[in-house]
Amino acid sequence: MKVSVVRGGGLAGITTRTEVSRSALPTAAAGILDRLVEEAGVREPPAPSSPSGPDQMLYEVEISDDDGTVRVRFTDADLPDGVRKLIEWVDSRAEKIHRLDV
């Protein structure tokens, strides 16, 4: 499984991509990732994203595994708590890959 977070918009208008692969994680961390993905609920069909306010960050979270790929989009105004926690956890991992997405 791989989790990708694309962030764009915002004050800067700069797009970045941050990814973490489950296979790169120690066993305990992989278990935490499984739980966070489950709690984020992004495997459900996404609700339509609300219109964005000025400089709000736009998010696309993608979860890929053997079953396929699920992709959901949010803004700062409607980012669910579970998804936010998943993103913060991915950001905190040394194993992540972070780059500009252009």
Partner 1 sequence: MISAPRPTPHPACSIAPPDLLSRLASQGTAEQRDAALSALAASASMRTQRSMLSQVRRRLGNEVANQLAGLDVTPERRQTIYDNQRQGRSFLPGVRVRGEDDPPTADADVNGAYDGSAATYDFYRDVFNRDSLDGQGMELVSSVHYGVDFDNAFWNGAQMVYGDGSGRVFVKGALAQSIDVVGHELTHGVTSFTANLAYSKQSGALNESFSDVFGSLVKQRHLNQTADQADWLIGAGTLVPALGKALRSMSAPGTAYDGDRQPDHMDGYVDLPDDNDPRNDNGGVHINSGIPNKAFYLVASALGGQAWGTAGAIWFHTLTERLQSKAQFVDAAEQTMQVAKEMFGDTAQSSVASAWQQVGVIS
Residues that bind partner 1 in the complex, under the rule CB under 8 A: 6-16, 49, 51-60, 73, 75-77, 79, 81, 84, 88, 91, 98, 100-102
Tell me the backbone φ, ψ of residue 43, rounded to 5 degrees: -80, -15
Provide the β-strand partners of residue 9: 57
CB atoms under 10 Å from CB of 89, counted, come to 19
Provide the β-strand partners of residue 68: 65
Pick from 34, 38, 55, 65: which binds Zn ion (CB under 5 A)? 55
Tell me the backbone φ, ψ of residue 71, rounded to 5 degrees: -130, 130
Q: Which option in partner 1, Zn ion, none does residue 93 bind, with CB closer than 5 to 8 A by kind?
A: none
| Minimum distance from residue 55 beta carbon to Zn ion (Å) | 4
| Minimum distance from residue 60 beta carbon to partner 1 (Å) | 5
